[in-house]
Structure 1
């Protein structure tokens, strides 16, 4: 690694003139072929002091970004509300179910006024109730396991 060269009075004058012209620290560093930290050290004793504080710009950018995200959230909320209303209307709209059930290929159609209701399915002429309660084990299922006569659940 090459040791840094000492800061000369020419470097100080050049940094001072570029600083007075309002150039940024990085622009000054590129112009004098020095690192930004060296430029900051050179400019520190200047009057007015060289400031690399970007807090006002950062605050303004943060406020702008926050406002932008808030407006995007509001637009998304409106879009989602519209989607929910459209899907809810679609969910409760009457529907027609059809099937080919006969050997001759005859088509059977059933229209449900409220497809979300289980009573509509049971009132359908094609509904067949289950032959066994839903909690009954299948006849071919293995018997439940037991440990010392106590069933394992």
Structure 2
């Protein structure tokens, strides 16, 4: 089957590279401040207003607002602990596999030749 010509391929419509959204309106800036006051995080605010996290960070910095990093630190510590536990589990599984394979390697076996 021959590939489809480029014109007939389906494509998702995305903005062209290099195009950017217009600057934030005052209403969006006010909404960022209000959502920040409610205790929402940077990424959550960005999703809610439909802008990038960078834009939210930039406006927050201009307004003298900062985001609580305690949740990020806590989440990172939890992820590190989870990954450490997974590595320990994997190491135990690999050692079990090595023991089984070693037993098979040194066990008596039949050899057939044709």
* 2:102 is the alignment partner of 1:84: yes
**What's the TM-score once normalised by structure 2's chain length?**
0.59
1:96 Cα offset (Å): 8.1
- State which structure, 1 or 2, has the greater radius of gyration over its C-alpha atoms: 1
Match in the other structure for 2:40 = 23
CA 1:97–1:18 in structure 2 vs 1: closer, same or farther (change >3 Å)?
Answer: closer
5+ unaligned residues in a row in structure 1: which ranges?
A: 100-153
Higher relative contact order (CA 8 A, sep 6+): 2
**What's the TM-score once normalised by structure 1's chain length?**
0.47
5+ unaligned residues in a row in structure 2: which ranges?
A: 1-18
C-alpha contact 1:18 1:28 (8 A) present in aligned 2 = yes
Counting matched residue pairs gives 93
Match in the other structure for 1:73 = 91
C-alpha contact 1:15 1:43 (8 A) present in aligned 2 = yes
